[in-house]
């Protein structure tokens, strides 16, 4: 009787070929915050979320050090009106208005032929959102 061992393809034995489960920053932060409640078992939370306990402890340490990637938050968009300049008279009026605005509390951005005037206190987060949206155009 000839007994040969069953041949298993190498691909089946290699655990690295399996895709890993990835968690969004929102999911990670939710699990870490759940661990911060008093009297909660980290192992229990890990088991409930089907995450390795050591990985959850790692995320917890990263969060304490400020190294855990923060969830992406979408900032509030503000209404914008785009006015196409048609004549030199309009351009002169815009320039005159821009000169009339005091330097403190005003930002003027010229991007791809569009000019944006921001008056008063400007939120850095809102400005970043507007500039990203303009850059995509």
Tokens 């932060």: give the residue. 29
pLDDT of residue 13: 66
What per-residue confidence (pLDDT) applies to 130? 74
Tell me the C-alpha to C-alpha distance, in Å, between residue 76 and each of 11, 33, 81, 98, 117.
Answer: 49, 25, 16, 26, 18
Question: What's the rounded mean pLDDT across residues 70-87?
Answer: 67
Question: How sure is the predictor about 20, in pLDDT bands with cuts at 50, 70 and 90?
Answer: confident
State the CB neighbour count (10 A cutoff) for residue 94: 14
Query: 12, 48, 7, 49: which is closest to 28 by C-alpha?
Result: 49
Per-residue pLDDT at 136: 66
9 has a pLDDT exceeding 80: no
User: What is the reported pLDDT for 30?
Assistant: 93
Question: What is the CA 52 to chain-centroid distance, rounded?
Answer: 25
* Residue ranges of domains in the chain: 13-65, 88-136
Predicted pLDDT of residue 54: 96
- pLDDT tens digits, one per residue of 89-129: 555 555 555 555 455 566 777 766 667 777 777 777 777 77
Q: What is d(CA 96, CA 9) in angstroms, rounded to the nearest whole number?
A: 77
Give me the pLDDT at residue 21, please: 86
pLDDT at 39: 92
pLDDT band at 55 (very low <50, low <70, confident <90, very high): very high
């Amino acid at each position: 009787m000839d007994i040969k061992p069953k041949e298993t393809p190498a691909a089946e034995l290699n655990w690295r070929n399996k895709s890993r489960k990835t968690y969004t920053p929102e999911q990670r932060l939710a699990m870490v915050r759940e661990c911060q409640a008093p009297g909660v078992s980290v192992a229990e939370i890990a088991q409930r979320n089907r995450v390795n306990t050591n990985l959850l402890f790692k995320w917890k340490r990263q969060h304490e050090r400020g190294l855990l990637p923060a969830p992406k938050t979408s900032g509030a968009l503000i209404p914008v009106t785009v006015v196409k300049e048609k004549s030199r008279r309009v351009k002169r009026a815009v320039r005159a208005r821009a000169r009339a605005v005091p330097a403190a509390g005003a930002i003027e951005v010229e991007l791809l032929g569009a000019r944006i005037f921001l008056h008063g206190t400007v939120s850095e987060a809102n400005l970043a959102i507007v500039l990203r949206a303009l850059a995509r155009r």
